[in-house]
Amino acid sequence: MSTENPITVLFVCLGNICRSPMAEAVFAHTVKQNNLQDRFTKIDSAGTASYHVGSVPDNRSASTCKAHGVAVKHKARKVTKKDFEDFDYILCMDESNLSDLKRIQPSGSKAVLKLFGEYDPQGELIIEDPYYGGNDGFEHNFRQVTRASEGLLKSLKLI
Protein backbone atom coordinates (compact mmCIF):
# COMPACT_ATOMS: atom_id res chain seq x y z
CA MET A 1 0.00 0.00 0.00
CA SER A 2 1.26 3.45 -0.90
CA THR A 3 1.95 6.06 1.75
CA GLU A 4 2.54 8.74 -0.90
CA ASN A 5 0.29 11.77 -0.97
CA PRO A 6 -1.51 11.10 2.29
CA ILE A 7 -4.94 12.70 2.38
CA THR A 8 -6.41 14.76 5.22
CA VAL A 9 -10.16 15.20 5.70
CA LEU A 10 -12.13 17.49 8.02
CA PHE A 11 -15.89 17.15 8.52
CA VAL A 12 -17.79 20.26 9.58
CA CYS A 13 -21.29 20.94 10.95
CA LEU A 14 -22.73 23.64 13.21
CA GLY A 15 -22.18 22.37 16.76
CA ASN A 16 -19.64 19.55 16.17
CA ILE A 17 -21.62 17.28 18.50
CA CYS A 18 -24.09 15.50 16.17
CA ARG A 19 -23.38 15.23 12.43
CA SER A 20 -19.68 15.92 11.96
CA PRO A 21 -18.36 13.65 14.77
CA MET A 22 -20.61 10.95 13.29
CA ALA A 23 -19.22 11.62 9.80
CA GLU A 24 -15.66 11.54 11.19
CA ALA A 25 -16.28 8.22 13.00
CA VAL A 26 -18.06 6.57 10.07
CA PHE A 27 -15.47 7.73 7.54
CA ALA A 28 -12.59 6.51 9.76
CA HIS A 29 -14.41 3.19 10.18
CA THR A 30 -14.89 2.86 6.40
CA VAL A 31 -11.21 3.70 5.83
CA LYS A 32 -10.23 0.95 8.31
CA GLN A 33 -12.60 -1.60 6.78
CA ASN A 34 -10.89 -1.01 3.45
CA ASN A 35 -7.37 -1.12 4.92
CA LEU A 36 -6.69 2.42 3.80
CA GLN A 37 -5.40 3.87 7.09
CA ASP A 38 -2.01 4.62 5.51
CA ARG A 39 -3.63 6.92 2.96
CA PHE A 40 -5.36 9.16 5.51
CA THR A 41 -3.03 10.87 7.96
CA LYS A 42 -5.72 13.02 9.52
CA ILE A 43 -9.49 12.57 9.84
CA ASP A 44 -11.11 15.11 12.16
CA SER A 45 -14.24 17.20 12.68
CA ALA A 46 -15.13 20.72 13.80
CA GLY A 47 -18.07 23.08 14.11
CA THR A 48 -18.76 26.54 12.75
CA ALA A 49 -20.22 27.61 16.13
CA SER A 50 -18.54 27.59 19.51
CA TYR A 51 -21.48 26.73 21.82
CA HIS A 52 -20.35 23.17 22.42
CA VAL A 53 -16.55 23.51 22.33
CA GLY A 54 -15.00 20.84 24.60
CA SER A 55 -18.17 18.71 24.68
CA VAL A 56 -18.29 15.02 23.80
CA PRO A 57 -20.70 14.01 21.01
CA ASP A 58 -24.45 14.14 21.68
CA ASN A 59 -25.64 10.84 23.22
CA ARG A 60 -27.99 10.21 20.33
CA SER A 61 -25.20 10.56 17.79
CA ALA A 62 -22.81 8.37 19.81
CA SER A 63 -25.43 5.67 20.50
CA THR A 64 -26.48 5.53 16.83
CA CYS A 65 -22.83 4.98 15.87
CA LYS A 66 -22.32 2.38 18.61
CA ALA A 67 -25.49 0.51 17.56
CA HIS A 68 -23.87 0.14 14.13
CA GLY A 69 -20.51 -0.95 15.56
CA VAL A 70 -18.76 2.36 14.93
CA ALA A 71 -16.55 3.81 17.67
CA VAL A 72 -16.86 7.55 18.35
CA LYS A 73 -14.25 9.60 20.15
CA HIS A 74 -14.18 13.36 19.82
CA LYS A 75 -14.20 16.63 21.72
CA ALA A 76 -15.98 19.47 19.96
CA ARG A 77 -13.88 22.29 18.57
CA LYS A 78 -14.46 25.29 16.37
CA VAL A 79 -13.15 25.34 12.81
CA THR A 80 -10.20 27.71 12.24
CA LYS A 81 -8.57 29.41 9.27
CA LYS A 82 -5.58 27.14 9.82
CA ASP A 83 -7.79 24.12 9.06
CA PHE A 84 -7.77 25.34 5.46
CA GLU A 85 -3.98 24.77 5.43
CA ASP A 86 -4.07 21.51 7.38
CA PHE A 87 -6.79 19.69 5.46
CA ASP A 88 -7.09 18.72 1.79
CA TYR A 89 -10.85 18.18 2.05
CA ILE A 90 -13.27 20.18 4.18
CA LEU A 91 -16.66 18.51 3.89
CA CYS A 92 -19.73 20.05 5.48
CA MET A 93 -23.31 19.04 6.08
CA ASP A 94 -25.59 21.83 4.88
CA GLU A 95 -25.68 25.09 2.92
CA SER A 96 -25.41 27.18 6.05
CA ASN A 97 -22.15 25.42 7.03
CA LEU A 98 -20.92 25.94 3.46
CA SER A 99 -21.56 29.68 3.42
CA ASP A 100 -19.98 30.10 6.88
CA LEU A 101 -16.90 28.18 5.70
CA LYS A 102 -16.65 30.15 2.45
CA ARG A 103 -16.58 33.31 4.53
CA ILE A 104 -13.51 32.19 6.52
CA GLN A 105 -11.67 30.32 3.71
CA PRO A 106 -8.40 32.25 3.17
CA SER A 107 -7.84 33.43 -0.39
CA GLY A 108 -5.49 31.06 -2.19
CA SER A 109 -6.53 28.11 0.00
CA LYS A 110 -6.25 24.86 -1.93
CA ALA A 111 -8.58 22.92 0.36
CA VAL A 112 -11.51 21.31 -1.45
CA LEU A 113 -14.59 22.75 0.27
CA LYS A 114 -17.81 20.84 -0.47
CA LEU A 115 -21.04 19.43 0.89
CA PHE A 116 -20.27 15.85 2.04
CA GLY A 117 -23.60 14.88 0.43
CA GLU A 118 -22.03 15.50 -2.98
CA TYR A 119 -20.44 12.07 -2.57
CA ASP A 120 -23.76 10.34 -1.80
CA PRO A 121 -24.54 8.04 -4.74
CA GLN A 122 -28.26 8.51 -3.89
CA GLY A 123 -27.82 12.24 -4.38
CA GLU A 124 -29.11 13.38 -0.97
CA LEU A 125 -27.12 16.57 -0.87
CA ILE A 126 -28.06 17.96 2.53
CA ILE A 127 -27.32 16.18 5.82
CA GLU A 128 -29.99 17.85 7.94
CA ASP A 129 -29.46 19.15 11.47
CA PRO A 130 -30.94 16.41 13.74
CA TYR A 131 -30.54 18.29 17.03
CA TYR A 132 -34.17 19.23 17.67
CA GLY A 133 -35.66 16.08 16.12
CA GLY A 134 -36.00 12.43 17.14
CA ASN A 135 -33.70 9.42 16.90
CA ASP A 136 -34.84 8.69 13.35
CA GLY A 137 -32.99 11.82 12.23
CA PHE A 138 -29.75 10.38 13.57
CA GLU A 139 -30.39 7.05 11.84
CA HIS A 140 -31.05 8.90 8.61
CA ASN A 141 -27.83 10.91 9.06
CA PHE A 142 -25.97 7.65 9.70
CA ARG A 143 -27.15 6.13 6.42
CA GLN A 144 -26.22 9.30 4.55
CA VAL A 145 -22.69 9.54 5.97
CA THR A 146 -22.15 5.81 5.36
CA ARG A 147 -23.05 6.18 1.66
CA ALA A 148 -21.05 9.40 1.30
CA SER A 149 -17.98 7.83 2.96
CA GLU A 150 -17.93 5.06 0.36
CA GLY A 151 -18.67 7.62 -2.33
CA LEU A 152 -15.68 9.70 -1.30
CA LEU A 153 -13.33 6.67 -1.35
CA LYS A 154 -14.70 5.76 -4.80
CA SER A 155 -14.20 9.29 -6.11
CA LEU A 156 -10.60 9.07 -4.91
CA LYS A 157 -10.34 5.73 -6.75
CA LEU A 158 -9.30 3.98 -3.55
CA ILE A 159 -12.11 1.40 -3.66
Q: How far is the CB of 138 from ligand 4NP (least distance, A)?
A: 10
Q: How far is the CB of 100 from ligand 4NP (least distance, A)?
A: 11
N-terminal to C-terminal alpha carbon distance within the chain? 13
* Spatial distance between the Cα atoms of 128 and 88, rounded to a whole number of angstroms: 24
Catalytic residue, chosen from 19, 39, 60, 147, is 19
98 binds ligand 4NP (CB under 6 A): no
* Amino acid letter, residue 12: V
Alpha helices in the chain (DSSP H): 19-33, 59-67, 83-86, 95-104, 135-155
Contact pick of 9, 11, 19, 72 for ligand 4NP (by CB under 6 A): 19
15 binds ligand 4NP (CB under 6 A): yes
Task: State the Cα angle at 156 between 44 and 80, rounded to 5°.
Answer: 30
Write out the binding residues for ligand 4NP, residues 47-86 only, by CB under 6 A.
51
The answer to whether 86 is a known catalytic residue is: no
Instruction: Return residues touching ligand 4NP (CB under 6 A).
Output: 13-19, 51, 129, 131
